[in-house]
Amino acid sequence: MQVRDLDPDVNERLKAAAMSKGLSYSEYLRRELTRIAERLRIEQRWADLTVEREASRNYEFTRQRARFEPEPIDSETIVRWIDEGRDER
């Protein structure tokens, strides 16, 4: 892999970090890139779970709301129920 236009100061800091850990420059970069890729994988999985959880909440809310939402009732039905209630007393 080749990185173009890398700031020379960044390059020197990376080489110094590799030396301080007793690693070759290539091995140090390989480990760091692997660590970055793993973090990105975890962040993507978290984002996927967040989207799934939100979709599940929206589905559940819609389902519960539909279950408890009253059916439209016309005034004639209401009057009939009131009359039936009076007749039962």
Full pLDDT tens readout for the chain, 89 residues: 788 999 999 999 999 999 999 999 999 999 999 999 999 999 999 888 888 888 887 777 777 666 666 778 888 888 988 888 887 76
The Cα–Cα gap between 30 and 5 comes to 19
Q: Which domain holds residue 83?
A: 8-88
Structure confidence at residue 28 (pLDDT): 97
With respect to residue 48, please indicate whether it lies within any of the assigned structural domains: yes
Taking a C-beta distance cutoff of 8 angstroms, is the pair 28, 14 a contact? yes
Burial of 20 (0-12, 13-18, 19+ CB in 10 A): exposed
3 domain residue, yes or no: no
The answer to whether residue 31 is domain-embedded is yes
Query: Measured between alpha carbons, how far is residue 5 from residues 9, 69, 83 in Å?
Result: 11, 62, 87
Give the pLDDT of residue 56.
80
- Is 0.75 topped by the overall pTM? no
- Number of independent structural domains in the chain: 1
* Tokens matching residue 24: 């070759």
Tell whether 73 is covered by a domain. yes
Residue 2 lies in a domain: no
**44 domain residue, yes or no:** yes
Residue 78 domain-assigned? yes
